[in-house]
Structure 1
Amino acid sequence: MRLATVVFAPILTLAVACGGDDPAQSTSGGGGSGALGGGGSGGSTGGTAGGGAAGSGGSPSCGVQIPDNYPATDFDTNTAVEADVITRFKAFLQPMKDAELAATTKPTAAQLTALFDAGTPSLRSLTTSYYAGEIDGLISEFEKAAGNTWKPAEPPPATGGIYSKWIFDARGRDLRQAIEKGMFGATHYLHAVTLTESGPDAKAIDRVLAIYGAHPSFPHDDKDPTHPDQFTAQYAKRRDDKTDTNPGFYRKLKASFIAARTTAAAGADCAADRDAAVAAIKLDWERVLFATVVFYASDATKKLTVDPPTDADVGAGLHSLGEMAGFVHGFRQLGATQRKITDAELDELLGLLGAPAAGDATSYKFATDTAIEIGKLAQVSAKIKAVYGFSDAEMETFKVAY
């Protein structure tokens, strides 16, 4: 796989759409960085906790009152570019989804590349140069695999294809998930970083909220008929049991977004509080995605250790593995100061998942040599626990879908 340095896109917008995930739902809970009043680890809304900004109903150091609800004034106008990019992201993914449903559907690399490059700003321009190069390679592999059938074997076959409900390359990588979930970090998160690099105003916070995948109404529902949570917001929802009085990731991020929007609108006197709220958003955004990797590690383990496993079980297990690798790989070569996890830690995780940044993937071995490989998923979870300081109780909630 090709290495490249990260290039931050100009401050344009993006908001990308992600398809649904099969392994039901994800997790909940977990302490976050919180906000002043937004609740840190074990905290609750209204008090001082974590390392962030003023949460709902609180008051930051600059004295402005933080409302309970997100100010929605001009949200649709402010996020018009995001709406367009969301549409184009869905258009980029759709031919790959269609190919998973019918072997007669065979999108070409040229067609997929044209969708990746279309529009202003294009999806490519909003993605790290490193991961854009990875996507080029994945698109080429998708063209080779579409229309074929595949089954994990040792040695692996010459080409990939459809197995159960997904398209894998010859070495067991779920190709669409590598593209889609990788872009959660390499595109969505990168764009949020770009928008907030220097003194974001209220409009910029609106745009970050759209990229995150939520609406000012914060429905806490990915099935909401009007404004369903999507992208990272969908996973934050799945990591947060709304019946629990202790807020999980979704509610903590909501509090931080309200604080960021309010303090950004208040001007220079509230700049420090705004920056603290933005820092809380970025850290919990990252934590949500890696908590979701813990969910899929548990899910893949369950699917791949069914005795005896069906093709549906094995396919679903490899699909979960693909989700994990996508989320992890997308953070590689992002700005080192803009994330908690390091490239060295990411490379360690990718190696355990059989999806190294350089060299041949061995993901298929989780199906052909399960007894030896499956323990690596517990190692992935343990390393994520150590990086983010998750508690034992949090790690257990991450295995549940809400």
Structure 2
Amino acid sequence: MGEVFAGRYELADPIGRGGAGAVWRAWDHRRRRYVAAKVLLQSDAHTLLRFVREQALRIDHPHVLAPASWAADDDKVLFTMALVGGGSLGHVIGDYGPLPPRYVCTLLDQLLSGLAAVHAEGVVHRDIKPANILLEATGTGRPHLRLSDFGISMRKGEPRLTGTDLVVGTPGYFAPEQLLGAEPDFPADLFATGLVALYLLQGRRPDSRRLVEHFLAHGAPGAPEGVSAPLWDVLAALLHPDPRHRFQTATGARKALAEAVELLPADPDGDPVEVFDQLGPLPAGFGPGGPLGTSAVTPGARTLATVPAPPAPAAAPAPDRAAARPDPRATPPDRAAPAPPSARGATPAPPAGATAPPPTAPPPPGAYGPSETGSFHLPPPAVPAPAPPAPRSRGVAPPPAGVQAALLLTALLCYAVGVWALIRLP
């Protein structure tokens, strides 16, 4: 039995973690289904404001994984979203290496479709990368992609929560103008989308710095090996270092991609790409219909005081489903083989005589994966740096939990009033 949050969400097991919180598989007692619950682990002002922005995002699109509901309990807050079990694009590359071009085009088209819906709401994602793009567990059927993690997204025109000498995002997926301190804009998301497509085609993280340097010195480089000229023309228009010469909208890039797909040769025959379920079995005390031996949670049920430690697995990891079929791509002798897909998201059994890890170990990366997102300093300006602020008094205690919850609810109310006021403007 897991701890119950706000009398409704019962946390089952951790399935991912990031810089601002952990993602849990949780049972929603009201809607009678499993959901993914992101529990905020920090309570500083910037983190709370980012939480307010993220949970307020409501985009109903088949290729967008946006928050569905939220709850607060003392000084802890969470929001929930649909549970996606197929892992991220990083899992698929780890299992198969470079993907067939037509398969990549299907994924790229879905990503651009979801991104067009996000941009239509005036939101810049700011953290497009493989770990934030999840897949439904569709097996060998048509893949279904979901763009997730809007933790650092912002609407155009909203105030930034970082200083002008900081850039927020993941190293290696920054657009060049971001590194120069430009305001977040839609073309920056499209640049990162081009890098994701190149990652899927090559099976490795692209060197964005080298790519930009080649663009600036010699123009667009030639198409990489295995990438046809029509498809490369689309990617080059996504990856141009000058945002004025880049696609300005995801819809425009999607139309160009559709024209390029018609000119692509057929993918070579081989094993189809299979998207496995990466979540692993439910922990002890939980079944497909929810927690075992219970039917509902009453308003007087216990609530979560602290985020619980990851529960011990109920059984050994599921058998390797990929072992029965040949490796879709041979692994060179000098390259380590990736971990079996069925082992991702489950805790392996310790060898004989070994000591089990302590129950307070941090949650392992699962289908929702760890996040590299952070704030990174831009090169220092030429003007002298301002004097550092006065040191904070160490004798001031943080506000009590009730006050923190009241501050959060006040921030949510102010945000809602502001959105209402904008809608009412002529």
TM above 0.5, yes or no, is: no
TM-score (norm 2): 0.23
Please identify which structure carries the higher helix content. Answer: 1
Give the greater-gyration-radius structure (CA). 2
